[in-house]
Amino acid sequence: MATTVAMPLWLAVVLGVLAAIALIDRLFAPALRWWLRRRVNRAIDELNRRLKLTIPPFKLARRRQLIEQLMFDPEVLKAVDNEALARGEPKSLTHARARRYAREIVPAFSAYAYFHVGAALAKWLSRALYRVRIGVFEETELYRVPPDAAVVFVINHRSNMDYVLVTYLVSQSSALSYAVGEWARVWMLQWLIRAMGGYFVRRDSSNPLYRRVLARYVHMATTSGVTQAVFPEGGLTRDGKLRPPKFGLLSYMVSGFDPVGTRDIVFVPVGLNYDRVLEDRVLTGAVDPGSDGRARFRFNPWVFSAWLCKGLWLRVRGRWHRYGYACVSFGRPVSLRSYLTERGADLRLLTEEHRFAEIERLGQHLLREVGRVVPALPVSLVASALLGGGEHGLSSLELKGAVYALMHRLKAAGAHVHIPRHDQEYAVEVGLRMLLLRHLVTAQGGVYRPNSKETALLAFYANAIAHLLT
């Protein structure tokens, strides 16, 4: 017997919407994911054929899978047991905290975000702010690096623009993975950094569980062949000089290295220099370290906003001028396998004390190689000459002679000197003009003198090449 069931129109609409959602979830969504994954894989295969250093499967794995792999690493599980025992808390609570650390550290790499958003933005920003040049480039040695090696770019840290500039110059050969400090954990920027393969590091954390989770992730990435970039100084220079190296990330990368294994670790020294560092006044004005040993930086958002608005206004009026030259040099690669073989060392067989001493020697060696390829730019040369002239100052002719002498000394020492247009006189003119525009130098009666109120900033640029003259 047929009967008619009446229901409200709104209920029929809700049931229809739920049925459509179920149909999409069970039928169309899997097909769409398969189609998108297939297109992504094809794009990555094509990308890997173009790149010198291919993107390894580890970097392309889903973030959830990497977190699970990290959480069930034997050393992480052991660290969880030790932490739970030390704190006297349930192991499930400690395990949950370790998972939070893993979620904080592990990136979510997207090839599209890296090459179509990040690299394109890095290229535009670098070329908008600077005249970008490549200095030393050991092309033959770089192309001899085995394609399956784990390559680590070791870079001096002068500015937050370092990330942007190196990403732009290396994007044609590889996708870099950076260790980024907590300062970048802000909305949207945090997402972009993770999508570009960067991972966040609590640089001053002494928690053993956190350090173990971080160590195992870095070790996993290195043994899987992920191309990385590290700043051995651990932070931005505040006086322009190279800072003593820190060994945390380096030790995570190399501690379990097998000299006779299938994958080598190759370090590529990278030296950077700028005619103008964007945050130079913030860096030189850093307050003395507090009780926790961390420097205090005076950052004024109003000053930053004024600088940004002024730059946009000059751009609109067509009076914008770039901040001089930014130069990047790539030195001779250092094979960890060859380095340890020469020293007759196997880090896995050493005691903890001797292993750390060996890693410290390696870090010092790498920083020296980085310092050797730091390029000398016009502002650094002119600043060095003027500070050497003292309070009496230098005439135009004396300044040129002093800068030419510096160039000769640097070239004799094997350093790279960037001379714009291959014209030494023009190089002096470019450097001096930048310093005069910023009032770091005064000109009176044809004599140029350092501004007594700006000697710290002038020394900041001179110190960029001071180690090359020692």
DSSP string, 409-470: HHHHTT--B--GGG-HHHHHHHHHHHHHHTTSEEEETTEEEE-GGGHHHHHHHHTTTHHHH-
Average of per-residue pLDDT across 307-330: 81
- Residues 325 and 438 reside in one and the same domain: no
Q: What is the pLDDT of residue 447?
A: 95
**pLDDT digit string, tens, across residues 410-442:** 999 999 999 999 999 999 999 999 999 999 999
Q: Name the domain boundary from 374, 393, 409.
A: 374
User: What does pLDDT average to over the chain?
Assistant: 87
Is residue 376 over pLDDT 90?
yes
Does residue 192 lie within any of the structural domains? yes
Average of per-residue pLDDT across 231-237: 90
Q: Which two tokens stand for residue 87?
A: 């704190």
- Residues 370 and 387 reside in one and the same domain: no
- Residues 408 and 361 reside in one and the same domain: no
Residues with Cβ < 8 Å from 155, sequence gap 6 or more? 162, 166, 229, 230, 231, 270, 271, 272, 370
Q: How far apart are CA 171 and CA 160, in angstroms?
A: 18
Is residue 44 over pLDDT 70?
no
Predicted TM-score (pTM) of the model is 0.87
- Residues 406 and 352 reside in one and the same domain: no
Q: Which residue has the higher pLDDT, 414 or 287?
A: 414
Does residue 78 lie within any of the structural domains? yes
Q: What is the pLDDT of residue 197?
A: 87
Q: What is the CATH number of the domain that holds 139?
A: 3.40.1130
Does residue 301 lie within any of the structural domains? no
Does residue 288 lie within any of the structural domains? no
Please say whether the dihedral angle defined by the alpha carbons of residues 239, 248, 103 and 227, taken in this order, is positive or negative. Answer: positive
Q: 3-state DSSP call for residue 50?
A: helix
Q: Which residue has the higher pLDDT, 140 or 412?
A: 412
Q: How far apart are CA 381 and CA 275, in angstroms?
A: 10
Q: Which residue has the higher pLDDT, 172 or 75?
A: 75
Does residue 11 lie within any of the structural domains? no
Residue 408 lies in domain: 378-469
Compute the 3-state secondary structure of the chain and give helix, strand, coil in percent, each to the nearest 5: 55, 10, 30
Please say whether the dihedral angle defined by the alpha carbons of residues 9, 10, 14 and 20, taken in this order, is positive or negative. Answer: positive
Show the DSSP H helices in 264-335 as ranges. Answer: 280-284, 301-316
- Residues 58 and 46 reside in one and the same domain: yes
Q: What is the pLDDT of residue 288?
A: 53
For the chain, give the number of residues: 470
Average of per-residue pLDDT across 382-398: 93
Q: Out of 48-62, 89-103, 442-456, pick the least confident.
A: 48-62
- Residues 131 and 244 reside in one and the same domain: yes
Does residue 14 lie within any of the structural domains? no
- Residues 400 and 357 reside in one and the same domain: no
Q: What is the pLDDT of residue 358?
A: 93
Report the percentage of the chain scoring pLDDT > 90.
Answer: 57
Q: What is the CATH number of the domain that holds 394?
A: 1.10.10
Q: What is the pLDDT of residue 291?
A: 45
Q: How far apart are CA 61 and CA 52, in angstroms?
A: 20
Q: What is the pLDDT of residue 35?
A: 61
Q: Name the domain boundary from 334, 356, 374.
A: 374
- Residues 196 and 342 reside in one and the same domain: yes
Report the percentage of the chain scoring pLDDT > 70.
Answer: 89
Q: What is the pLDDT of residue 32?
A: 62
Task: Domain count for the chain, please give it.
Answer: 2
Does residue 299 lie within any of the structural domains? no
Q: How far apart are CA 161 and CA 322, in angstroms?
A: 14
Q: Out of 32-41, 113-122, 360-369, pick the least confident.
A: 32-41
- Residues 63 and 174 reside in one and the same domain: yes
- Residues 357 and 389 reside in one and the same domain: no
Q: Name the domain boundary from 341, 358, 374.
A: 374
Residues with Cβ < 8 Å from 395, sequence gap 6 or more? 446, 447, 448
**pLDDT digit string, tens, across residues 90-101:** 999 999 999 999
Q: Out of 85-94, 348-357, 382-391, pick the least confident.
A: 348-357
Is residue 304 over pLDDT 70?
no
Q: Which residue has the higher pLDDT, 303 or 463?
A: 463
Is residue 366 over pLDDT 50?
yes
- Least Cα distance to 227 among 44, 59, 380 occurs for 59
Does residue 449 lie within any of the structural domains? yes
- Residues 221 and 365 reside in one and the same domain: yes
Q: How far apart are CA 467 and CA 13, in angstroms?
A: 75
- Residues 332 and 385 reside in one and the same domain: no
